[in-house]
Chain A
Amino acid sequence: MTEQNRQNLEQNNSTSQRQLRGLYSKVNISVKSLNIIIIVLAVALVACMAIGVSNAGFTVQFDSLGGTTVESQKYMYGELITVPNPPTREGYLFDGWYLDQNATRPWDLENDIVTESITLYAGWRLQ
């Protein structure tokens, strides 16, 4: 028996701590250390939420698929997307933004609201 093991055993006996079972059966930890871990993790969790909230905003990217570039924008939850300048492309007519490259699921600028980060693809018709 190594020194470490003996110490652990003595500690267990002195505090009459229960041995963990199941998936935790290899875990050997005191309640005190667990308290510290819980507090540290809780602080980390709150910090992550705070960072997330302070950098809030969903990025909406525009892929003009060969047309002129449209800058990506940031929106909050539930906002409508406004595109100041529609893209242009030689020989094609722009017919709106779509959620997929094949232009099958259109994005309704007047009714659809932002609920997550998305990429919109330009739809083109041959001129």
Chain B
Amino acid sequence: MAEKEKLKKIGDILLNNAMYIIIAVAVVYIAIMRPTFIKLPSIVNILSLTAAKLPIALGIGGCIVLTGTDISAGRVVGLTACISASLLTTVFKVFPGMTSAAPLPLVLLLVIGVGALVGFVNGFSVAKFKLHPFIVTLSTQLIVYGIILMYLMRGVNNGQTLSGLADNYRSFITGTLFSIGGVAVPKYVLYSFILTIIMWIIWNKTTFGKNMFAVGSNEEAANVSGVNVMRTIIMVFMLAGMMYGITGFLDGARIASANANTGLNYECDAIAACVIGGVSFVGGIGRISGIVVGVLLLQIIFTGLNFLAVDANMLYIIKGLIILIACAIDMRKYLVRK
């Protein structure tokens, strides 16, 4: 009997950590096949890309804690990246009347505001009309995409990719923070780190954070115990929107250009990262550290597959399977927990 119990326990551990095991085995395989994968430049590259994708995942994490989701995220990143790239540039195609680039802090505030506005629309519709976040954010996703396309048609730009960014904008984000072993670590890693700390404080140390988890695990109970459910939901979505705005601001300079496809499918990666990191669709469960680990693991596996020259088409299938497995494990963990 004891033997059987033991086997069951081992089976439990194997199944609950199936994703981590697969990723670990894959990383070992890649490291053997392509030793440059675990060299310093590659590691710095993985960490930088993780930092770049972290803010959007931190934002979406809150929506998932509320048992919702936000599929407008990628397009909001696209819009804010286009706004940043059009204002902080040397060639003013969208605003031909401008002669010099706008001040950095102003543009940063503007894109955070734009993100918060879209977040407010999402949150208000979800909280007030009890609509499912999926349908609300689907429509805002399309609306924002339309706005991006129209914005890019403004002035003499004619829908083209925005580039020729101002030097101070680029150096503010991609400038060297410090070098290790001759490999430069870009400044946006620091910004991402700061955002993570801020989000950790919001999630764990504020009343708003506690309310968010209460609403996520049981909306009615939260309401009865005096939590302002509507305000909490709106604030979670607005906070997420601000994070997308910051991601867009960083992404414009990081990629050195912005167009209608910037940010496409970012929300898929972010949602996948959250679920892998243990932010449960059950609601009311999730940790910031989990999100960081989720984003990092996804980045490691996809950078690794890229090193093996796996075709981009196959990567989509792999990504889809990873999300399915993560959800199945998520459900399993909830069901077997006593």
| Partner-contacting stretch, out of A3-11, A46-54, A82-90 | A46-54
B335 touches A31 (CB 8 A): yes
B283 touches A45 (CB 8 A): no
A45 touches B322 (CB 8 A): yes
The residue on B at minimum CB distance from A19 is B335
Chain A neighbourhood of B307, CB < 8 A: 77-78
The distance in angstroms between the C-alpha atoms of A52 and B301, with both chains bound, is 13
Chain B 24-53: CB-based contact to A (< 8 A → 1; otherwise 0): 001000000010100000000000000000
Chain B neighbourhood of A116, CB < 8 A: 306, 312
Q: Is A34 an interface residue (CB 8 A)?
A: yes
**Known A21-B283, A31-B336, A41-B328; contact A52-B311, beta-carbon cutoff 8 A:** yes
Instruction: Give chain A nearest CB distance to B18 CB in angstroms.
Output: 5
Chain B neighbourhood of A109, CB < 8 A: none
Q: Is A56 an interface residue (CB 8 A)?
A: yes
The distance in angstroms between the C-alpha atoms of A105 and B314, with both chains bound, is 28
Q: Is B321 an interface residue (CB 8 A)?
A: yes
Q: Is B156 an interface residue (CB 8 A)?
A: no
**Known A22-B281, A31-B335, A38-B328; contact A117-B22, beta-carbon cutoff 8 A:** no
Chain B neighbourhood of A42, CB < 8 A: 18, 22, 325
The residue on A at minimum CB distance from B257 is A105
**Known A48-B314, A52-B310, A77-B306; contact A21-B15, beta-carbon cutoff 8 A:** no
Which of A34, A39, A52, A117 is within 8 Å of B335, CB to CB? A34
Chain A neighbourhood of B69, CB < 8 A: 23
B309 touches A58 (CB 8 A): yes
The distance in angstroms between the C-alpha atoms of A31 and B22, with both chains bound, is 21
**Known A22-B280, A41-B325, A45-B325; contact A35-B332, beta-carbon cutoff 8 A:** yes
Chain A neighbourhood of B310, CB < 8 A: 49, 52-53, 56
A24 touches B281 (CB 8 A): yes
B309 touches A57 (CB 8 A): yes
**Known A57-B309, A117-B311; contact A27-B331, beta-carbon cutoff 8 A:** yes
Q: Is A55 an interface residue (CB 8 A)?
A: yes
A117 touches B312 (CB 8 A): yes
The distance in angstroms between the C-alpha atoms of A29 and B117, with both chains bound, is 39
The residue on B at minimum CB distance from A56 is B309
Q: Is B334 an interface residue (CB 8 A)?
A: yes
A17 touches B18 (CB 8 A): no
The residue on A at minimum CB distance from B66 is A22
The distance in angstroms between the C-alpha atoms of A37 and B310, with both chains bound, is 25
Chain A neighbourhood of B332, CB < 8 A: 31, 34-35, 38
Instruction: Give chain A nearest CB distance to B13 CB in angstroms.
Output: 13
Q: Is B202 an interface residue (CB 8 A)?
A: no
**Known A23-B67, A31-B332; contact A38-B314, beta-carbon cutoff 8 A:** no
Q: Is A18 an interface residue (CB 8 A)?
A: yes
The distance in angstroms between the C-alpha atoms of A37 and B69, with both chains bound, is 24
Instruction: Give chain B nearest CB distance to A41 CB in angstroms.
Output: 5
Which of A20, A44, A51 is within 8 Å of B331, CB to CB? A20
Q: Is A107 an interface residue (CB 8 A)?
A: no
The distance in angstroms between the C-alpha atoms of A48 and B319, with both chains bound, is 10
Q: Is A76 an interface residue (CB 8 A)?
A: yes
Q: Is B324 an interface residue (CB 8 A)?
A: yes
Q: Is B185 an interface residue (CB 8 A)?
A: no
The distance in angstroms between the C-alpha atoms of A75 and B337, with both chains bound, is 48
The distance in angstroms between the C-alpha atoms of A102 and B321, with both chains bound, is 38
Which residues of A are interface residues toward B (Cβ below 8 A)? 17-18, 20-24, 27, 29, 31, 34-35, 37-39, 41-42, 44-46, 48-49, 51-53, 55-58, 75-78, 115-117
Which residues of B are interface residues toward A (Cβ below 8 A)? 11, 15, 18, 22, 26, 34, 36, 67, 69, 216-217, 280-284, 305-312, 314-315, 317-318, 321-322, 324-325, 328-329, 331-332, 334-337
What are 17 A-B interface contacts by the 8 Å CB criterion?
A20-B334, A20-B335, A21-B283, A23-B282, A24-B282, A31-B332, A31-B335, A31-B336, A34-B332, A49-B26, A49-B305, A55-B311, A57-B311, A76-B309, A77-B34, A77-B306, A78-B307
